[in-house]
Amino acid sequence: MNTTAIEVRDLHQRYEDFEAVRGVSFEVARGELYALLGTNGAGKTTTLDVLEGFRAPTKGQVRVLGHDPLAERAAVRRRMGLVLQEAGFYKDLTVAETVDAWRRWTPGAMDRRAVLDRVGLTHREQVRVGQLSGGEKRRLDLALAVLGRPEVLFLDEPTTGLDPEARRNVWALVREMVAEGVTVLLTTHYLDEAEQLARRLAIMHAGRIVTEGTLGAVLAGRGTRIAFRLPGVRPGELPYASGPTRRSVRADGEAYTVETDRPQEDLRVLLTWAHQRGLELAGLEVRRPSLEEIFLEVAETEKVAA
Interface residue list for another protein (CB under 8 A) = 52, 54, 73-74, 77-78, 82, 84, 86-93, 97, 101-102, 104-107, 144, 148
Cβ–Cβ < 8 Å for 139, 169: yes
Kind plus residue range of the DSSP H or E element containing 224: strand 224-229
Q: How many residues belong to the chain? A: 306
User: Looking at beta carbons only, is 51 or 258 nearer to another protein?
Assistant: 51
Shortest Cβ 222–another protein spacing (Å): 37
Cβ–Cβ < 8 Å for 277, 269: no
Shortest Cβ 124–another protein spacing (Å): 18
State phi, psi for 19 to the nearest 5 degrees: -95, 105
User: Looking at beta carbons only, is 114 or 172 nearer to another protein?
Assistant: 114
Shortest Cβ 229–another protein spacing (Å): 44
Other Cβ atoms closer than 10 A to 122: 15
Beta-bridged to residue 34, according to DSSP, are 185, 200
User: Looking at beta carbons only, is 116 or 140 nearer to another protein?
Assistant: 140
Shortest Cβ 83–another protein spacing (Å): 9
User: Looking at beta carbons only, is 156 or 193 nearer to another protein?
Assistant: 156
List Cα–Cα distances, 166 to 87, 120, 137, 159, 162, in angstroms: 19, 10, 11, 8, 6
Compute the chain's Rg from CA coordinates.
23
Cβ–Cβ < 8 Å for 12, 19: yes
User: Looking at beta carbons only, is 132 or 294 nearer to another protein?
Assistant: 132
State phi, psi for 47 to the nearest 5 degrees: -60, -45
Query: How far apart (Å, rounded) are the C-alpha atoms in residues 304 and 306?
Result: 5
Cβ–Cβ < 8 Å for 152, 6: yes
Shortest Cβ 189–another protein spacing (Å): 21
User: Looking at beta carbons only, is 137 or 225 nearer to another protein?
Assistant: 137
Q: Give 247's Cβ-side CA count (13 Å radius).
A: 23
Shortest Cβ 53–another protein spacing (Å): 9
Shortest Cβ 127–another protein spacing (Å): 14
Shortest Cβ 172–another protein spacing (Å): 23
Kind plus residue range of the DSSP H or E element containing 144: helix 134-146
User: Looking at beta carbons only, is 53 or 223 nearer to another protein?
Assistant: 53
* Close Cβ partners of 228 (under 8 Å, ≥ 6 residues apart): 255, 256, 270, 281, 282, 283, 284, 285
User: Looking at beta carbons only, is 82 or 166 nearer to another protein?
Assistant: 82
